[in-house]
């Protein structure tokens, strides 16, 4: 297949592109290498992908509609996987404009090009943050999601609605994934698991919000991209493509699917696993709850399993150990 992937210099896009290249596909990557976190890490991921002859790279912003359009139209992809975004819950309090620009306008530009090329399947990343203030656990795709707590989550909910309308108007098969706290090698330096590891190894304190009384459905990145890969082949269509408890729209070839581990791990247990892998204890700085944060996430990943036969399974201790190994190796510690 020919697959166009946005966000390939990013954490998840890099892992997905590697998997697709290993499977023998032709992959076009697109990434603006934004400086939201260390660009050198993005350059390192990009350099690895560029070693493959079947990887074609464009460095540009999603907002640069003409460049994005030309990259997609000239590549003539069978599928588009849209992962590039301004990510991060906390930064959306500081710089909300970046989220409107990348996530709303940028996603619209991807959708326009997808329609023009007539791809078989457009798949795009959303987030567990769209569940916002919901408290019924685990989070299922059939829940109402109207109470987002940050502009990040709100822009992702907006892309879900935009994707649905586009799928309806243009009969464009579209799947939205809701990812739950992804961690693992080549991870994101702005995320807690990365900062905890960095500070524990440096001997500097770690900030633990809500006095540590939080829980997350941590998803190991290798599991996550296998889930994405499976769903790429589960193309939504008419009612005949529905499975039990499906989120398939009655009005469009469109569905939303959670990709999570189906386990909610207490944050303090996750920190202990990092301490164990680092072989040293953290200096803990307990803090109050941050605005926009949610206390817990927990995915119902049953629909992913029914659609693909796949369920993420990496235990968090195994995943954390793999991340810390990578961290030491990458930073030559």
Ligand X SMILES: NC(=O)c1ccc[n+]([C@@H]2O[C@H](COP(=O)([O-])OP(=O)(O)OC[C@H]3O[C@@H](n4cnc5c(N)ncnc54)[C@H](O)[C@@H]3O)[C@@H](O)[C@H]2O)c1
Annotate each residue in 188-217 with x if it binds ligand X (CB under 6 A) or - if it does not, as one string.
x-----------------------------
Edge-first strand listing for the sheet containing 26-31: 55-59, 26-31, 2-6, 79-82, 121-127, 174-179, 254-259
- Which of 14, 254 has the CB closer to ligand X? 14
Active-site entry in 36, 99, 131, 152: 152
Total of residues contacting ligand X (CB under 6 A)? 27
Residue that is written with structure tokens 């700085």 in the block: 285
Of 267, 271, 260, whose CA–CA distance to 290 is shortest?
Answer: 267
- The interface region with ligand X, picked from 11-19, 135-143, 249-257, 273-281 by CB under 6 A, is 11-19
- Which of 33, 242 has the CB closer to ligand X? 33
Residue that is written with structure tokens 């999601």 in the block: 145
Site for ligand X in 49-88 (CB under 6 A): 61-63, 83-87
Query: Can 131 be counted among the known catalytic residues?
Result: no
Residue 31 in contact with ligand X, rule: CB under 6 A: yes
- The interface region with ligand X, picked from 29-37, 73-81, 266-274, 321-329 by CB under 6 A, is 29-37
DSSP states along 50-97: TTSTTEEEEE--TT-HHHHHHHHHHH--SEEEE------STHHHH-HH
Q: Looking at residue 105, what DSSP letter applies? A: I
Residue that is written with structure tokens 């992937």 in the block: 5
Annotate each residue in 106-125 with x if it binds ligand X (CB under 6 A) or - if it does not, as one string.
x------------------x
Residue 9 in contact with ligand X, rule: CB under 6 A: yes
d(C-alpha 305, C-alpha 307), whole Å: 5
Q: Which residues contact 153 (CB under 8 A, 6 or more apart)?
A: 89, 92, 127, 129, 130, 132
**Cβ 8 vs Cβ 43: under 8 Å:** no
Residue nearest ligand X (C-beta atom)? 10
- Which of 52, 241 has the CB closer to ligand X? 52
Residue 175 in contact with ligand X, rule: CB under 6 A: no
Residue 114, phi then psi, degrees to nearest 5: -60, -40
Annotate each residue in 308-327 with x if it binds ligand X (CB under 6 A) or - if it does not, as one string.
--------------------
Least spacing, CB of residue 210 vs ligand X, in Å? 18
| Joined tokens for residue 11 | 């954490």
d(C-alpha 100, C-alpha 106), whole Å: 8
| Joined tokens for residue 66 | 């003409």
Interface pick for ligand X out of 3, 5, 10, 175 (rule CB under 6 A): 10
Of 98, 113, 143, whose CA–CA distance to 6 is shortest?
Answer: 113
Interface pick for ligand X out of 4, 20, 21, 32 (rule CB under 6 A): 32
Least spacing, CB of residue 156 vs ligand X, in Å? 6
Least spacing, CB of residue 41 vs ligand X, in Å? 8
Residue 223 in contact with ligand X, rule: CB under 6 A: no
d(C-alpha 58, C-alpha 31), whole Å: 7
Residue 260 in contact with ligand X, rule: CB under 6 A: no
Using DSSP, state whether 3 is helix, strand or coil.
Answer: strand
Provide the annotated active-site residues.
152
Interface residue list for ligand X (CB under 6 A)? 7, 9-13, 31-34, 42, 61-63, 83-87, 102, 106, 125, 127, 179, 181-182, 188
């Amino acid at each position: 297949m020919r697959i166009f992937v946005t966000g390939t210099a990013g954490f998840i896009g890099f892992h997905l592109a590697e998997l697709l290249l290993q499977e023998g596909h032709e992959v076009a990557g697109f990434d603006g290498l934004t400086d939201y976190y260390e660009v050198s890490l993005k350059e390192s991921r990009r350099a690895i992908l560029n070693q493959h002859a079947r990887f074609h790279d464009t460095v540009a912003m999603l907002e640069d509609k003409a460049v994005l359009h030309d990259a997609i139209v000239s590549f003539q992809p069978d599928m588009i996987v849209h992962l590039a975004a301004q990510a991060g819950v906390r930064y959306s309090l500081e710089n909300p404009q970046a989220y409107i620009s990348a996530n709303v306008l940028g996603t619209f530009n991807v959708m326009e090009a997808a329609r023009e090329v007539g791809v078989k399947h457009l798949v795009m990343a959303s987030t567990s943050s769209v569940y916002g203030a919901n408290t019924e656990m685990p989070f299922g795709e059939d829940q109402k999601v109207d109470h987002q707590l940050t502009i990040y989550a709100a822009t992702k909910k907006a892309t879900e609605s935009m994707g649905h309308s586009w799928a309806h108007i243009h009969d464009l098969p579209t799947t939205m994934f809701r990812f739950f706290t992804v961690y693992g090698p080549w991870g994101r330096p702005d995320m807690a698991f990365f900062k905890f590891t960095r500070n524990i190894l440096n001997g500097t304190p770690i900030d633990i919000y809500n006095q540590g009384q939080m829980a997350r459905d941590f998803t190991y990145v290798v599991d996550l991209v296998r889930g994405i890969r499976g769903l790429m082949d589960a193309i939504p269509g008419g009612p005949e493509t529905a499975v039990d408890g499906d989120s398939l729209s009655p009005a469009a070839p469109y569905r939303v699917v959670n990709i999570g581990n189906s386990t909610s791990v207490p944050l303090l247990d996750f920190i202990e696993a990092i301490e164990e892998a680092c072989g040293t204890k953290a200096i803990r700085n307990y803090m109050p709850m941050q605005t926009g944060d949610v206390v817990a996430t927990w995915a119902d990943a049953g629909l992913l399993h029914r659609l693909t036969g796949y369920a993420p399974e990496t235990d968090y201790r195994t995943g954390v150990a793999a991340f810390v190994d990578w961290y030491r190796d990458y930073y030559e510690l």
